[in-house]
Structure 1
Amino acid sequence: MDRLRRFLSNRQRIFDFLWALAMLGLPLTSFTLFVRLTRAVVAPFTALPVFLLLMAWLVPYLLRGGALPRESKPLFLFGLVALAASAGALFIDIPTLKGRSVLGQEARAFVTLVIGAAFYLIFAAYPREEEQLNKTLRWIHIGGLVMMTWTIIQFFYLNNPYGFPVWADRIQEVLVTKTPNRGARITGLAYEPSWFGHQMIMLYIPLWLAASYERTSAFKVRILRYLTIENFLLVFGLVEFFYSLPRLSMAALLLVCVYLFYKGNLALYRKAAGAIASRKKIKRLYESRLIKSFMGLAATGILLAFYASLGWGILYLGSQRD
């Protein structure tokens, strides 16, 4: 019995180690060794620990009656529809392109779908407790910190007339397969600058922004009593994000800013309306449904006019720049 407990305890430690390795390796989108083995540019380092967790943890977990989150049901439905559509396509006379068969392309797409589903299921099912979620966030933040540290080194040597030193090139070649000519744009640990921008805007910046907004942290460390690690990561992350000269990722960031601006205005409106309504003379009028509706419509109209003017100004400035 003691041996079984020790084995289970050690096995859980191995799972936690693989999970931490997967979180730390998220910035590595095209790990050189995996690119050579698979001959595919998209070869993330995280694929290996996720695959090991899939076989050693998720499959036994499901066989023991473990439950998946409800959000996974649409994914399975999508997979069934994709499989049925792919099977139906075999009975249609579809011309080949560049010597590639329909079956071969379907198999490749299906493998991609399976890999994506495996990533999702592992990430959705493994952190089952709050402590595990906090550890996950810490490992993600540490991986982001390592990525940003390397990006600072990139930025320094990109602006250096002597270019990259040999040691930096060798480290880059070990971690990431040889990237195309990126000019003066930083890439972090991704294959190209656009991938770095997508990483930042889809994962790291939202996490750091949410933690800063909610004034929470996955770390116990506080700087000057109030500042958290996520606050610094957000500031430096945004600076590095802009230096990657993103395009589509910039549009996504602007949408985030618009949403935050809307939330801020809504909070300001509610605070102002509450302050006005608290006055004795206005309180009686504000209790009237007609007056209350009128004030709400007036405030909404003012905000919409302001947003429209702001949007027009941004478009005008953008057209002048182009």
Structure 2
Amino acid sequence: KKEIKLPWSNALLPFLLFFIFTVFATASGALLAPIPLHGNEYWGRAIRALITFGIGLSFFFAALWMHKDEDDLRHSLKWLYAGLFITILWVGVQAIALHTPLLKKGQVSAWQELFSVRGLTKVRRVSGFAFEASWFAGQLVTLYIPWLFAAILARFRVTKYKWLEPLLLLGAIASLLLTFSRGGMLIGITAAGLTLLISGRKAISRAFSWFFNIKKSAESVKSVDIRAFSTRIVLLFLIIAMLWGGVAFIARQEYVTRLWTVEANSLSDYFIQINAGGRLTYLWAAAKVYTAHPILGTGLGSTGFYLFQEYPDWAMVNNPEVARQLSPTTNLYPNAKNLYLRILVETGVVGFFIFGSFLFAILAQIGITIQRNKFLGIAGLFSFFAIISYYFMQDSFAMAELWINFGIVLGTASYLKNKYKEAS
């Protein structure tokens, strides 16, 4: 019988250590005996949080152990691209309904409710197959775009169709713009910029070299020059047109332009007016909770029990999200909406540093992988920057897009490591 060897990565040790410490911190957090909130009790929230963490673990280990070689990677990418293609088609339908009179919004919303618990949003933001637009933007920048971006830089193709990755990348970027997600666009720009700065300089140099150095043919110099020159001019105009069109489209959306057009009396008032008052409130309160329990934290899933009493006075005025949570009839359970703060609050500084060591172990593995497989390394680097940025905007362990790419990269990197050892 053929022995089955599961991929192993040095990043797994701190990750498993973090899980064990989380269980310990949760048990110790029960000794604090927080007062139940809106029908939620400590162990109910703790068990729920451990289950969601387990879901995240399942995504991570499934992706890790399913990718034992480059063939597995290609197979997964084909299905990932297929899913993205279908998503882009549905985004197109949503965009037509939201921005043109060609399709009725109510009809498309009814179609969406056939497979989703939510129809089209009241604002003109596409959400793909996600529950809300910001979640869809997060999926694009953390799951799909890293592979497409790496495919362009490393000139890697999954199929024989060389136009597939560039076309899907354009579709993904257009979908991202249509979400109007300020955080999603910022993450995409940040991750792309850092990845280019670190590993894309050769690709940029190659592109400039191709653009400015037109090869000549001894047989027909003029015709080749004209054709090559025309190709470059058309390509340049297309790039400028797409950039100009994207910026102009976003600049007309009040949800985005509000960032620099609002008139606020204070910093807190500014955040409230740009619909970020709730996030600032949670950040403020979570930071104060952490200072009260800095070592072991309050236990997994328990942040909401401590946030209310730390809300600042300014959060009580003209802050609809906070007002809904303060209603005596609500059953909402507040959260930090920032994974770093959540880990600090619930597992203390010890858990935070263990989780940080897990992230640094992944980054170290990605750095080694870039030397052995440029495509995989660039995709991993983009994913890393996008995911650690996305942690600032959400606090759930159960979101698949935060684990799948890490699992794929580490699993395939383990294969490359063994292959490199055998070759040497």
TM-score (norm 1): 0.58
**Residue 21 of structure 2 corresponds to which residue in structure 1?**
81
CA distance in 1, matches of 2:142, 2:156: 20
- Indicate how the Cα distance of structure 1 residues 70 and 262 shifts in structure 2: closer, same or farther if over 3 A, else same: closer
Instruction: Quote how far apart the aligned CAs of 1:158 are.
Output: 1.1
Contact 2:141 2:188 in 1 (8 A): yes
| 1:262 aligned residue (180, 187, 197) | 197
**Which structure: larger Rg?**
1
- Indicate how the Cα distance of structure 1 residues 318 and 263 shifts in structure 2: closer, same or farther if over 3 A, else same: farther
Contact 1:158 1:184 in 2 (8 A): yes
Summarize the alignment of residues 204-215 of structure 1 with structure 2, pairs less than 5 Å apart.
204-215=144-155
Identity of paired residues, percent?
A: 22
**Residue 116 of structure 2 corresponds to which residue in structure 1?**
176
Summarize the alignment of residues 137-152 of structure 1 with structure 2, pairs less than 5 Å apart.
137-152=77-92
Instruction: Quote how far apart the aligned CAs of 1:118 are.
Output: 0.7
**Residue 71 of structure 1 corresponds to which residue in structure 2?**
11
Determine whether 1:230 maps to 2:165: yes
| 2:129 aligned residue (169, 189, 198) | 189
The C-alpha deviation readout for 1:37-56, integer Å capped at 9, x for no partner, is: xxxxxxxxxxxxxxxxxxxx
CA distance in 2, matches of 1:212, 1:270: 14
Instruction: Quote how far apart the aligned CAs of 1:165 are.
Output: 5.9
Alpha-carbon RMSD across the aligned residues, in angstroms, is: 3.1
Contact 1:69 1:125 in 2 (8 A): no
Determine whether 1:163 maps to 2:104: yes
Instruction: Quote how far apart the aligned CAs of 1:247 are.
Output: 1.4
Where does the alignment leave 5 or more consecutive residues of structure 2 unmatched?
A: 207-256, 263-424
- Indicate how the Cα distance of structure 1 residues 144 and 265 shifts in structure 2: closer, same or farther if over 3 A, else same: closer
Q: What secondary structure does 1:220 align onto? A: coil
CA distance in 1, matches of 2:11, 2:118: 37
**Residue 243 of structure 1 corresponds to which residue in structure 2?**
178
Instruction: Quote how far apart the aligned CAs of 1:270 are.
Output: 9.4
Instruction: Quote how far apart the aligned CAs of 1:78 are.
Output: 1.0
Instruction: Quote how far apart the aligned CAs of 1:252 are.
Output: 0.7
Contact 2:6 2:68 in 1 (8 A): no
CA distance in 2, matches of 1:70, 1:182: 46
CA distance in 2, matches of 1:87, 1:144: 41
- Indicate how the Cα distance of structure 1 residues 321 and 266 shifts in structure 2: closer, same or farther if over 3 A, else same: farther
Contact 1:69 1:124 in 2 (8 A): no
The C-alpha deviation readout for 1:2-54, integer Å capped at 9, x for no partner, is: xxx9xx9xxxxxxxxxxxxxxxxxxxxxxxxxxxxxxxxxxxxxxxxxxxxxx
Instruction: Quote how far apart the aligned CAs of 1:177 are.
Output: 1.6
**Residue 43 of structure 2 corresponds to which residue in structure 1?**
103
Letter of the 2:39 partner, please give it: G
The C-alpha deviation readout for 1:272-296, integer Å capped at 9, x for no partner, is: xxxxxxxxxxxxxxxxxxxxxxxxx
CA distance in 2, matches of 1:234, 1:215: 13
- Indicate how the Cα distance of structure 1 residues 254 and 175 shifts in structure 2: closer, same or farther if over 3 A, else same: same
CA distance in 2, matches of 1:119, 1:188: 21
CA distance in 2, matches of 1:269, 1:137: 25
CA distance in 2, matches of 1:269, 1:250: 22
Instruction: Kindly indicate whether structure 1 or structure 2 has the higher relative contact order, using CA contacts under 8 Å at least 6 residues apart.
Output: 2
CA distance in 2, matches of 1:73, 1:266: 33
Instruction: Quote how far apart the aligned CAs of 1:98 are.
Output: 1.6
The C-alpha deviation readout for 1:144-198, integer Å capped at 9, x for no partner, is: 00000111111111123362363x4444123222147341111111111101100
Where does the alignment leave 5 or more consecutive residues of structure 1 unmatched?
A: 9-60, 223-227, 272-316
